[in-house]
Structure 1
Amino acid sequence: MIELKKQLLDNPEHIRELLEEYDFHNIKINSNEIRCGVEEDTNSTSVRIRLEKSLKASDFGRDYHGDIFSLIMTLKDVGLGEIIKTTKDILGISFFEFNKKERIFGGFYDSIKKRKTSELKTLDNSILDNFKNKYNALFTKDGISLETQKKYQIGIDFDSYRISVPWFNFSGELVGIEGRYMGDYKEDEVSKWFPIIAFPKSMCLYGVSFNYNHLYEAKRIYIGESSKFSMQLDTMGIQTGVSLGGNAIHREQIKQLSWLNPEEIVFCFDEGLSEELVNRQIEKTKLMTKYTNIKVGIIRDPENKFLPKGSKCSPTDLGKERFLELEESYLEWR
């Protein structure tokens, strides 16, 4: 995403092409900004895109602020993956790596071994045609509405008897599919979650591609373990939840959180996780974000007032009212 913005900034005419592709009008490129209108007959200067590295964008008519990608998502109701693909087509590139010479946050990330893009292979979205539009009552009982299931492209893989949950990378490209067993996994002695198409979850943050326009420069991002955490929050109307796919946060995931540039990030680990493991994840995150102004917090229930002891419940499992009560009572800043 950073490299795409850099290449767009190197030639603002490419930004014009991107805006024209999504039917923005009266586009005018100035020395430090681009102005345009959302529709042909609306205010021709209501949208401003600043020609600086983050390509911050605002629609003053609707009081929306984000970056160029989140702006297009919000105003034109387009998915992030489609916007990224269109941008790559305009730039004439089929793939890209993050610029190894770019010094992010004072060069701190220069010391981190860069992973090649090839390590996270992308898949054709047509794979999802085998699963999509087959919603299920199991997720509904877990507090995930049919609307959210449709948004997150949930389906069913009848071959493995699992709910299919597709994962997308930071750029909105399909990278894998995990499956949630629909039967009694304990009685049948099978894994509750098992990959339908395996991929390294440590390189992804679940939920970003669906809610990038809400996550970018958000006031607060919530971080949970399972993919259903992000979906449960979305059903509650809270569109700033991401999931790790486990109980540990990895360097690539922390980097992606930093790129979103939130004011605060709040961990929401499942009940019963050891204090030692929790502290290790928080310290790792604080170390890698120390050159930012991001506050790091955690929602805990040390007395098991809300989350029953031994339940391994997520803070979102008990519904919106209880989640907000838990946040109000037990949010700690570290």
Structure 2
Amino acid sequence: MLADIKKELINHPDKLKDVLEHFGYCNIVIRPKYISFGRDEKSSKKSIVINLENNEYLYTIDYARNIRKDIFSYIIEQRKVEFIDVLNEVRHALGITDYYDFFDNKGIFGGFYEKIRKRRTNKVNTYDDSILDCYVNCGNIRFLADNISLLSQKFFKIKYDVESQGIVIPIRNQFGQLMGVKERFNYDVPDGEMKYFYAVPCSMSQTLFGYSQNYEFLVDNTIYIFEAEKSCMQCYSYGIRNCVSLGSGSISIQQVKMLLELNPKRIIFLHDVGYGLENIMRNIDMVKNYSRFTEVELGYWSYFGRGYENKVSPSDLGKEWLENILQNEITMIGDEDDEDEL
């Protein structure tokens, strides 16, 4: 979907100009093949360029600062705003009320993602953030003891449901819009019984937890994929931002599409201990099927035979242990070790 937004902006450079002006960029000139502009009135008028041809990821080149980033990451970093702020302005500039209806009706999906589009994406319901007002805005000791810092809890807007005694986890779509509310009971739950439930149901297969919050750290980078939402929050506490969570063990077609729109260099699956190699490889094959024309490298956490406790996530083990795992226990597809295991 982000690929379609970028394509729309390239096709309508006047709308891209509106977005740039909103965030304070000056002396914007639209040429047939590129847009040039300056950081402010005092800077060079041509120090920043966006090519309008052969630029599907909408990279912005800031020659003065030797920066090359996609337009969203560039604005986020340089103007110190959030991803959703940029997307909201893009929506305003393009006159979009609902992203899903807009692109489905226009039928502009195509090219590399046409195969994905043929399996139609379900409409994703979104909600105003005001529905979270019924919950208490406070940190949680249980999460704190589970390596989720108070700063991380604040960043992901964790709240508390007094009535159900549940820790509230807002679930957002790739544009940062609220699409559901998940809760974790704030008391010990016997093994095998339900710990989590949805206070506001949503289809997790249509999003990736942490995608909108970590966007600028995911683009053109290695992406670590975990199962549970808490892993992203733990990683934030460790200072690791290039990660997302599936919300389950299996990756969906929509999630694959979202990952590939980030132009990742490597995708590493970090499943919980006990998730079988056959299932891990099924997820990797899913990404392979849609990344044949890219150079993304694929790998996974090879926890097998290392004595880890069942169901533990690598992020549960703490920052130093997780860093060791990322350095020493990742098997890349095509490695000799991988071939031996298979």
Q: TM-score, length-normalised on structure 2?
A: 0.88
Q: Which residue of 1 aligns with 2:73?
A: 70
Preserved CA contact (<8 Å) 1:166 1:178: yes
Q: Which residue of 2 aligns with 1:184?
A: 188
Preserved CA contact (<8 Å) 1:206 1:244: yes
> Do structure 1's residue 103 and structure 2's residue 110 form an aligned pair?
yes
Q: Which residue of 1 aligns with 2:23?
A: 22
What's the secondary structure of 2:233's corresponding residue? helix
How far, CA to CA, are the matches of 2:15 and 2:204 in structure 1?
Answer: 33
The residue type equivalent to 2:29 in the other structure is K
Q: Which residue of 2 aligns with 1:294?
A: 296
Preserved CA contact (<8 Å) 1:262 1:294: yes
Unpaired runs of 5+ residues, structure 2, are 334-342
The Cα of 1:35 is off from its aligned counterpart by: 2.5
Preserved CA contact (<8 Å) 1:69 1:213: yes
What's the secondary structure of 2:235's corresponding residue? helix
> Do structure 1's residue 169 and structure 2's residue 173 form an aligned pair?
yes
Per-residue CA deviation, residues 132-166 of structure 1 (Å, 9 max, x unaligned), is 63111222221122222211111112122111111
What's the secondary structure of 2:111's corresponding residue? coil
What's the secondary structure of 2:27's corresponding residue? strand
Per-residue CA deviation, residues 50-76 of structure 1 (Å, 9 max, x unaligned), is 223321113344444321112111122
The Cα of 1:106 is off from its aligned counterpart by: 7.3
> Do structure 1's residue 257 and structure 2's residue 227 form an aligned pair?
no
Per-residue CA deviation, residues 11-45 of structure 1 (Å, 9 max, x unaligned), is 21111111111122232223322222334434444
The Cα of 1:77 is off from its aligned counterpart by: 2.1
How many residue pairs were aligned?
Answer: 326
> Do structure 1's residue 94 and structure 2's residue 97 form an aligned pair?
yes
Identity, in percent, stands at: 31
Preserved CA contact (<8 Å) 1:132 1:154: no
Unpaired runs of 5+ residues, structure 1, are none
How far, CA to CA, are the matches of 2:35 and 2:108 in structure 1?
Answer: 27
What's the secondary structure of 2:29's corresponding residue? strand
Aligned-pair Cα RMSD in Å: 2.1
How far, CA to CA, are the matches of 2:116 and 2:297 in structure 1?
Answer: 19
Q: Which residue of 1 aligns with 2:130?
A: 126
What's the secondary structure of 2:112's corresponding residue? coil
What's the secondary structure of 1:114's corresponding residue? coil
> Do structure 1's residue 157 and structure 2's residue 161 form an aligned pair?
yes
Q: Structure 1 residues 192, 6: CA separation in 2 closer, same or farther (over 3 Å shift)?
A: same
Runs of 4+ in 1 over 6 A off after TM superposition: none
Per-residue CA deviation, residues 98-147 of structure 1 (Å, 9 max, x unaligned), is 4645333274435x41224xx21011122233336311122222112222
Per-residue CA deviation, residues 234-291 of structure 1 (Å, 9 max, x unaligned), is 2211111000001111111111111111011000000111222222222222222223
Aligned counterpart in structure 1 of residue 243 of structure 2, from 228, 241, 244: 241
Q: Which residue of 2 aligns with 1:273?
A: 275
Preserved CA contact (<8 Å) 1:132 1:153: no
Q: Structure 1 residues 44, 127: CA separation in 2 closer, same or farther (over 3 Å shift)?
A: farther
The residue type equivalent to 1:205 in the other structure is L
